[in-house]
Amino acid sequence: MTSKPAGMQDFTDLTCTSLMIKLKLQLKKIPDGEPFSCIVRRDQRETIETPFSRCGYEVTVSPEGTNRYIVTLRKKQKHGND
């Protein structure tokens, strides 16, 4: 198993439902434009990518070993009167 980067939360032991709740709570604490990263399994990554990208978040995924991914979520910045 790969060690996690310092300070990054490992959510691989959570169910997908628990993960989504945990992420929503964590994202409320983060200022707009600031990233939040965590480690998840492949099935969790698939659960996160589409819903968050559709509701105003930039989602970045990087492999972190076998069946482990670093997912970074960042609230998209709003641009004036575009």
How far apart are the C-alpha atoms of 10 and 25, rounded to whole Å?
15
Half-sphere exposure of 41 (CA within 13 A, CB side): 8
How far apart are the C-alpha atoms of 15 and 58, rounded to whole Å?
22
- Whether residue 63 lies inside any domain: the answer is yes
Which residue segment(s) compose the domain that 52 sits in? 9-75
pLDDT of residue 63: 96
- Whether residue 80 lies inside any domain: the answer is no
- Whether residue 1 lies inside any domain: the answer is no
Strand 57-63 and strand 35-40: the pairing is unpaired
Encode the chain (82 residues) as per-residue pLDDT tens digits: 445 556 799 999 999 999 999 999 999 998 888 999 999 999 999 999 999 999 889 999 999 989 999 999 998 876 655 4
Q: How far out from the chain centre does Cα 1 lie?
A: 20
- Whether residue 81 lies inside any domain: the answer is no
Q: Please state the domain count of the chain.
A: 1
- CATH code: domain of residue 57: 3.30.110.40
Does the pTM surpass 0.85? The reply is no
Helix then strand count (H, E) for the chain reads 2, 4
